[in-house]
Structure formats: structure tokens, C-alpha cells
């Protein structure tokens, strides 16, 4: 018995690497560093901020301030408040509360997707990864699944917080909405889809821009500044070409698309794009960036 | 309000990156704790060699070429690396050693030619880590991950039992450091973690790029014993290195490349003799002038500062015969066998090193 003998290997069945093992290895890579729980902390912070903001907004929607208004304004405001109390609007409010934290939460999902790839290059572990599994498509597919799992985990953290706070809030506002209403559940599930899609989007971005800081900055800029840029362009086109659908075209900004997909009413423009448009745009981005990820990983030399 | 949130997020993210970077730096600065004791490498009873089929471990490089934009890094390179021997892979900086190893390991696609292990390209091996172990960069692990977790991830992805991670940690003497984070490892410890990773599948073939870098004398001796033991078991060991004196002790075969092309390959003795044939002969004699006159025109006689006489251009036999013919007394006659360093420098002289 010497150090070169291996009881572990001698006793083991030779199973080789299977897609399931590859996914578990990728999840283990994230799990064995600090990033994921720091990010969950970030998701929770932003979820609580969003809950406060959304709560305040809906509070004034349901209980308008009537002081210092003349009679006709007062009537109009009361009518709006009454409108907010209809079942449909209450569902929308509940859905909004239950998806609080999405705007910045998906940003964390995107960044974890970016890190799943760029960590391999930043820490030069890509060599070991691809030596263990030269079939690169399988590796990148496993990464997609792992990134999606962590996107879902972030969604779970955010939703757990929402599911605790929302009923308390709605109770204190003295409105009764069943959180099991399909409209609410659908928003929550679409929110999950958004987290997963952004994680995959981030992973594709990471393969495109392999520098860690480069791709994180690019991703955040696309997400946060992309809205403003697209809004300006859309508005300019709208001035020239005065059609309603032009305004709706702001949905091509990925951040808008994911908002529209989950809670279509939240975009504050004249001609809000339909929910399906948000879904289609997000799907298109996810597939495009996923494909970029696979193709680039297959073709490029590992350095 | 959204603008405010945006600023908070950007600020927070920036702070995070800065702090992360700082953490990494300060930790690497403090790295330098003494390496843990090395376990002895004890030879097995040939358990492996009986089961290893020699042809499985043959590395065959044929017409291998790699072109980057305008630069030919590896140029029509062909050689074979045999099982049961340690093969040193030598060349000046920029000669294309690492590029060649990357192509053998399926990490870089050749522009032309093939590299196979046991007749199969790396990408077509069924269980690559069970057949081939590679070490390319020593500092290749996530800074915030423990060495043990790094190895366990490799086990997981290759379908190897996780306990194997502890076995290879033991093999390279890193067991005490296994649960510490990689950023606290010294260069020698990182190198050993890399060797542990290469050994994880108990492979028939080992391909190591500069494995002795950063090892202390103790570590270098340990590495030498390990690699020799592995070769004796019938495994193929291909090692690139700049430590020529170490290579001369360690290697059985040599492959020397320069400017992407093969310079020479063969056993260490063959490579050394390729220069020795034209090397110098040390002569001690009381009568230098008479000996010089006795040698014919091909020979050149030089006397160095310490008074030693060197004859080049003819071999020792010719000098002895010439001395006997003219009755010159010789006190010493010794062929100077050049060391690997001398041969290497002679062989790679004038070849463009960095392109």
C-alpha cells in the first residue's frame, strides 16, 4: 500500500462524467465561494427597499390625500381610489407587491450568470474544467443550468420575503386579496422566469466579454442605462413617425421587457407594450445570448 | 427615485469590486507560510505496470502546427513520448512548449497536424482524467475556494469519488492546508495542488508544464522521486522545464524545440553526445608545443587561465595516437562531456527565441 495506490478509485464504479454530474460540479463551483450568499443578501436588501417603495405607492393609490383639493379634483381622486379597490386592480397591486425586488434582483441573477463563466477565466480554472470535460457544449449547458438554478434561488429568497410582507401589508391596508388568485400567482411565476432568463443572459454575456469587470459593467449598463437610451431613440422616432406601436417599441430594452413580461401595468407610458411582447423579447435575448455562449465556447481556444 | 437607487447600486457594486480586489492582494502578500512536510514517495510493487498497456500511454505528435495572427507558434512539430520514461520537453521562452502542450490536451485547436494519446485525440477520450493528468498553470484555482473543494469539484465533474480528493492531497502533502483558501497558498503549495489535480484520475499519462517552478530544494527532490516512481510504474511522464540541471538528473528522454520547430529528440545520452562528438578534450602534458606540432591541422589547442589544455577538432583517440607517434608524455586525456545546459544553449543558439 503506497500513496500511489487509490482505495477510492479501486472501489468505485467507472461512471464517467454525465450531464447530471456536470451540473452538480458547476453548482458546487458557485457554492464553494462567498459570492452566492453575498448576492442573496443583496437581493434581500433590494427586495425590502422595493417593498417599502411599492407599499408607499400603493398606499397613496388606495388612500389618496384629499386635503387642500377643490371639489372636482376631490371627486376625481376618489373615483381613482374606488377604481383601485376593484378586484382587478387589487390583484395588480398584490402582484406588484409579490414581485417586489425584481428590478434589481434580476441584476444579481445576471451577474451570477456572468461570474459562472468569467470566474473560470479570471482564476484560470477553465483549463482544468475543459481538461476534465473536453466536450465543451456539455460544459456550457451545465453552466446554463447551474446559473438558472441560482437565478431561481435568488427568486426564492426575494419571493419568500414578499410572501411574508405582502399579506401583512394588504391586511394593514384593509383590503382583501387572495394571493392564490391566478393573476397574482402568474406574476410570481413570470418573475421566476425573469430571474432564470437574466441568469442565462448574463452567462451568454460572460462568454462574449470574458473580462470579469468588463462583462459586469457591460451587463449593468445594458440593464440600467439601456432603458434611457432606448427611450430617447424611441421618442425621437415617435416625433417623426407618430404611431402608437412606436412608443411600445421601448420593450426592446431588456430591462423593460422583463418588467412588461411580469407586470405589464408597471410601465408608465401612453401605449404600454403588451405582456406577450415582453416575453418574446426576453426569450429572444435569452436564446441569442445562450447561442453566443455555446458557439464561442466551442470555437475559442482555452487560455 | 430610480436615479437614486441606480446610484446606490453602482456605488455599492464599485465598492464591492474594489474591496474584493484589495482582499485578494493583501492575502497574497501574506502568503508565504512554510510548506507542510512532504510525504515520502514509496514505490509500489508494480501494481500499475501489470495493468497498463504500453500503447495506451504513447503520446504522438505529428506535423503539429499552430498559427496565430502572422506568427507561427508551433511549426510542423513531430515527436513521440514513450510510456515508462520521463521525457523532458525543453526550449527557450516562446519556443512554443506551452502551446504544444495545450494542443495535446485539447485546449487549443491545431492549425494543422495531430496530437494523440494512445492513438486517440484528447477530445475523443472517454474519461480523460482517468487517462491523462495535466498541469498547465500553477495558480489555477479560485482564490476564495479551499484547495480541497477545488479537487472535489474536479472529482465531481469527472465522475470520480469525492474521497479521491483527500487521497491526492495526502499524496502531495497538502492535507493540513486542504481546508484553507487558495489565496493563502505559497507558490510551492499551489504547484503541489496542481500536481494533486493532475493525479486525480490515477492517469496513465502525465503532462506537466514547469512543475518544479516555485518548489524549494526539498520539493524539487520530492517531485523528482514522484515522477521517477510514476515512470517506473509504466506511466508516461512529459515534463517541460527550464531547470536544465534538474532535467539532466530526472529525464530519460529529451525533446528540445526552438522557434516552434524540433531541434533534437532522443535519450539524454544521445542528445548530449550529439554535441560531445565535436566537443573538447582535456589534455595534461608537460610538452604542449610538441603535442601541438604532432596534431594535424584540424586540431585547435587552447590553454585556459588555470593552465588546462583543451584540444578541439579531433577526438581523444586521435590525440593519444598522435602523442604516441611523437613520443609525447600524456598525464591526462579526458573527453569533456558537455552538461545539458551547454548542449541546450549550443543547440538553440541563434534560433529566434521570442517572436
Per the CB < 8 A criterion, the answer to whether A200 and A286 are in contact is: yes
Chain B, 211 to 270: residues with Cβ < 8 Å from chain A are: 229-230, 233
pLDDT per residue as tens digits for the range B257-291: 998 999 999 998 888 877 655 567 888 888 888 88
Q: Taking chain A (303 residues) in consecutive chunks of 10 residues, what is each chunk's mean pLDDT?
A: 75 80 94 92 96 92 82 84 84 90 92 93 90 91 94 96 94 85 90 92 89 91 85 86 80 84 71 84 88 87 81
Radius of gyration of chain B (CA): 26
Chain B, 33 to 52: residues with Cβ < 8 Å from chain A are: 39, 41-44, 47-48
Per the CB < 8 A criterion, the answer to whether B340 and B252 are in contact is: no
* Contact across the interface for B149 and A32, Cβ inside 8 Å: yes
Q: How far is A271 from chain B (nearest CA, A)?
A: 21
pLDDT the model gives residue A268: 67
* Contact across the interface for A33 and B144, Cβ inside 8 Å: yes
CA A66 from centre of chain: 38
d(CA A79, CA B76): 83
pLDDT the model gives residue A88: 82
Whole-Å CA distances, B286 to B17, B154, B289, B296: 76, 68, 9, 19
d(CA A120, CA A115): 8
CB count in 10 Å sphere of residue A256: 27
Q: Among A1, A7, A8, which would you mutate to test the B interface (most chain B Cβ atoms within 10 Å of its Cβ)?
A: A8
User: Any alpha helices (H) in A173-270, and if so which ranges?
Assistant: 182-208, 212-240, 244-248, 254-262
CB count in 10 Å sphere of residue A103: 22
Q: What is the pTM of this model?
A: 0.80
Q: Taking chain B (355 residues) in consecutive chunks of 10 residues, what is each chunk's mean pLDDT?
A: 55 58 40 54 48 69 92 93 95 89 94 94 91 86 92 93 94 92 91 93 93 88 92 94 87 92 90 70 85 80 81 83 88 80 80 56
pLDDT the model gives residue B48: 44
CB count in 10 Å sphere of residue A298: 12
pLDDT the model gives residue B345: 82
The ipTM is 0.85
pLDDT the model gives residue B45: 45
Amino acid at each position: 500500500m503506497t500513496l500511489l495506490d487509490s482505495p477510492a478509485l479501486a472501489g468505485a464504479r467507472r461512471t464517467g462524467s454525465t450531464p447530471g454530474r456536470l451540473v452538480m460540479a458547476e453548482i458546487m463551483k458557485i457554492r464553494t465561494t462567498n459570492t452566492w450568499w453575498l448576492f442573496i443578501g443583496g437581493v434581500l436588501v433590494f427586495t425590502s427597499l422595493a417593498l417599502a417603495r411599492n407599499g408607499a405607492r400603493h398606499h397613496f393609490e388606495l388612500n389618496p390625500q384629499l386635503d387642500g383639493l377643490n371639489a372636482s379634483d376631490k371627486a376625481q381622486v376618489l373615483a381613482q381610489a374606488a377604481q383601485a379597490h376593484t378586484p382587478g386592480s387589487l390583484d395588480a397591486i398584490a402582484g406588484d407587491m409579490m414581485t417586489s425586488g425584481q428590478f434589481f434582483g434580476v441584476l444579481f441573477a445576471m451577474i451570477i450568470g456572468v461570474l459562472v463563466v468569467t470566474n473560470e477565466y479570471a482564476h484560470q480554472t477553465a483549463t482544468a474544467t475543459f481538461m476534465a470535460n473536453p466536450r465543451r457544449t456539455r460544459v456550457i449547458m451545465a453552466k446554463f443550468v447551474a446559473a438558472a438554478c441560482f437565478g431561481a434561488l435568488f427568486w426564492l429568497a426575494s419571493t419568500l420575503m414578499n410572501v411574508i410582507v405582502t399579506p401583512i401589508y394588504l391586511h394593514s391596508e384593509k383590503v382583501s386579496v387572495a394571493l392564490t388568485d391566478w393573476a397574482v400567482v402568474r406574476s410570481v411565476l413570470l418573475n421566476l422566469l425573469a430571474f432564470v432568463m437574466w441568469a442565462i443572459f448574463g452567462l451568454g454575456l460572460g462568454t462574449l466579454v470574458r473580462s470579469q469587470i468588463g462583462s459586469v459593467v457591460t451587463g449593468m449598463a445594458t440593464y440600467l442605462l439601456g432603458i434611457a437610451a432606448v427611450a430617447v431613440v424611441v421618442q425621437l422616432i415617435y416625433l417623426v413617425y407618430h404611431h402608437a406601436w412606436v412608443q411600445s417599441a421601448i420593450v426592446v430594452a431588456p430591462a423593460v421587457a422583463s418588467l412588461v413580461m411580469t407586470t405589464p401595468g408597471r410601465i408608465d407610458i401612453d401605449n404600454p407594450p403588451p405582456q406577450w411582447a415582453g416575453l418574446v423579447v426576453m426569450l429572444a435575448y435569452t436564446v441569442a445570448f445562450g447561442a453566443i455562449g455555446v458557439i464561442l465556447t466551442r470555437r475559442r481556444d482555452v487560455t | 427615485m430610480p436615479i437614486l437607487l441606480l446610484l446606490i447600486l453602482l456605488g455599492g457594486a464599485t465598492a464591492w469590486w474594489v474591496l474584493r480586489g484589495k482582499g485578494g492582494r493583501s492575502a497574497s502578500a501574506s502568503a508565504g507560510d512554510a510548506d507542510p512536510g512532504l510525504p515520502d514517495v514509496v514505490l509500489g510493487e508494480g501494481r500499475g505496470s501489470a495493468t497498463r498497456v504500453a500503447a495506451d500511454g504513447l503520446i504522438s505528435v505529428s506535423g503539429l502546427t499552430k498559427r496565430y495572427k502572422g506568427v507561427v507558434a508551433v511549426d510542423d512539430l513531430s515527436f513521440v513520448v514513450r510510456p515508462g520514461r520521463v521525457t523532458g520537453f525543453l526550449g527557450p521562452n516562446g519556443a512554443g512548449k506551452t502551446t504544444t502542450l495545450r494542443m495535446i490536451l485539447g485546449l487549443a485547436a491545431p492549425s494543422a497536424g495531430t496530437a494523440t494519446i494512445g492513438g486517440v485525440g484528447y477530445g475523443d477520450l472517454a474519461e480523460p482524467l482517468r487517462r491523462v493528468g495535466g498541469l498547465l498553470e500553477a495558480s489555477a484555482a479560485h482564490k476564495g475556494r479551499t484547495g480541497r473543494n477545488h479537487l472535489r469539484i474536479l472529482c465531481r465533474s469527472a465522475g470520480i469519488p469525492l474521497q479521491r480528493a483527500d487521497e491526492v492531497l495526502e499524496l502531495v502533502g497538502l492535507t493540513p492546508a486542504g481546508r484553507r483558501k487558495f489565496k493563502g497558498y505559497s507558490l510551492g503549495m499551489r504547484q503541489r495542488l496542481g500536481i494533486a489535480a493532475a493525479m486525480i484520475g490515477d492517469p496513465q499519462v502525465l503532462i506537466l508544464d514547469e512543475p518544479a517552478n516555485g518548489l524549494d530544494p526539498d520539493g524539487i527532490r520530492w517531485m523528482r522521486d514522484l515522477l521517477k516512481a510514476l515512470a517506473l510504474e509504466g506511466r508516461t511522464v512529459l515534463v517541460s522545464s527550464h531547470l536544465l540541471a534538474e532535467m539532466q538528473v530526472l529525464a530519460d528522454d529529451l525533446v528540445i524545440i526552438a522557434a516552434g520547430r524540433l531541434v533534437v529528440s532522443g535519450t539524454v545520452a544521445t542528445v548530449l553526445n550529439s554535441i560531445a562528438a565535436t566537443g573538447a578534450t582535456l589534455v595534461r602534458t608537460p610538452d604542449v608545443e610538441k603535442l601541438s606540432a604532432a596534431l594535424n591541422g584540424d586540431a585547435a589547442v587552447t590553454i585556459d587561465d588555470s593552465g588546462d589544455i583543451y584540444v578541439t577538432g579531433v577526438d581523444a583517440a586521435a590525440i593519444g595516437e598522435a602523442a604516441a607517434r611523437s613520443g609525447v608524455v600524456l598525464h591526462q586525456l579526458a573527453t569533456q562531456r558537455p552538461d545539458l545546459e551547454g548542449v541546450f544553449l549550443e543547440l538553440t543558439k541563434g534560433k529566434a527565441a521570442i517572436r
